[in-house]
Amino acid sequence: MKKIRIRKFFICLLAVLCITASDCMPVYGAKLPALKVKGTQLVNDKGKTVQLRGVSTHGLSWYPQYVNQKAFSWMKKNWKINTVRLAMYTSEYNGYCTGGKANRKMLEKRIDQGVKCAAKAGLYVIIDWHILSDGNPGTYEKEAVAFFKKMASKYKNYTNVIYEICNEPNGGTSWSDIRTYAGKVVKAIRSRDKDAVILIGTPNWSQDVELAAQNPVRGKNLMYTLHFYAGTHGEYLRQKAQAALDQGLPLFVSEFGISDASGNGALNKSEGSRWMKFLNRNKISYVGWNLSNKGESSALIKSDCSNTSGWKNKELTPWGNWLVKQFRQK
């Protein structure tokens, strides 16, 4: 009788310990410290400035084949990246809000796969709500709030997850519109995850950062996105960025290229180098567009290469080689 009671006691104790441990210990991403925002910089658990560098997938519905463990681990080891961005279009081509229920489920599965592959590879991962033709993030605000609540519940114990809540507001969407939207989505994320870093898009395809600097969203661990394509955007945009930094706005380049803004056309490497200097000098994190073999100059992989990991340099486009060189130089 006594023996059974003692056994019961230990089983209960074990169960309690297991539940407590699983609740507070991050299951994945444990190798990576959770990041915080301090001033204009991203910092690690020791308060040291961290500059994230990585690549963005193309749309998760368009080019899902690159979300795999081998690719992520390869890029970490060989390209020396520390971040991957999972671009999930909300509207275009089987977007989350336009492609139906089954498609939505599949996209969530791909994100899950991406988050787990990234954690295993030792990479930070950005879950990107990739608005584009939908222009104003308010178009699918209800969906965004529900989506981010779900993601934050799922990944609250992952130290490597970053949320990007609206890729590129455009079509005349004002900062005030974006700010109202951001307030709701940030609140939804914070109801599940108090600390994760959140990236907020800015007006005019994430370029008018000075408008956000005048009236930032309230809260901690928030950053604002600056996007550029060096074939189109040069010094004037760097000046806007500098002005925002001077006002104390933390910037994050969650997407860029050195082609023109269409994602195609000639590469402008000299302007690209000027941008790199600016980013490195200010320790701004950067993520290059896009990990696919689409026949466009902003794709990293040559269109005749169907490998989905382990790429040799000769299988990369001129942009791919240029970008990988930037990563390796660090």
Which residue has the CB atom at the shortest distance from ligand IDC?
263
* % helix, strand, coil for the chain, step of 5: 45, 15, 40
Regarding 94 and contact with ligand IDC (CB under 6 A), the answer is no
Q: Tell me the three state secondary structure of residue 74.
A: helix
CA dihedral (115, 116, 117, 119) positive or negative: positive
Q: How far apart, in Å, are the Cα atoms of 106 and each of 51, 68, 125, 132? A: 31, 15, 18, 20
Regarding 144 and contact with ligand IDC (CB under 6 A), the answer is no
Catalytic position from the list 164, 168, 210, 296:
168
Please count the other Cβ atoms lying within 10 Å of the Cβ belonging to residue 136.
18
Catalytic position from the list 164, 210, 255, 271:
255
> Which residue from 85, 296, 308, 327 is in contact with ligand IDC, where contact means CB under 6 A?
296
Alpha helices in 131-268, H assignment, sequence order: 141-155, 175-190, 203-206, 209-214, 235-246
Regarding 298 and contact with ligand IDC (CB under 6 A), the answer is yes
| Cα 223 from Cα 266, distance rounded (Å) | 31
- Nearer to ligand IDC by Cβ, of 132 and 241: the residue is 132
Regarding 275 and contact with ligand IDC (CB under 6 A), the answer is no
Tell how strand 41-43 and strand 36-38 pair up. Answer: antiparallel
> Which residue from 179, 184, 294, 302 is in contact with ligand IDC, where contact means CB under 6 A?
294
- From the list 192, 263, 178, 180, the residue with the least C-alpha distance to 228 is 263
- In the block, tokens 């994320």 appear at 189
Q: Which of residues 228-247 bind ligand IDC (CB under 6 A)?
A: 229
Regarding 164 and contact with ligand IDC (CB under 6 A), the answer is no
* 255 part of the active site: yes
The one segment of 174-182, 266-274, 294-302, 317-325 that binds ligand IDC by CB under 6 A: 294-302
The one segment of 36-44, 96-104, 196-204, 289-297 that binds ligand IDC by CB under 6 A: 289-297
> Which residue from 255, 272, 276, 287 is in contact with ligand IDC, where contact means CB under 6 A?
255
Regarding 205 and contact with ligand IDC (CB under 6 A), the answer is yes
Tell me which residues are annotated as active site.
168, 255
Residues at the site binding ligand IDC, with contacts judged by CB under 6 A = 92, 132, 167-168, 205, 227, 229, 255, 261-263, 289-290, 294, 296, 298
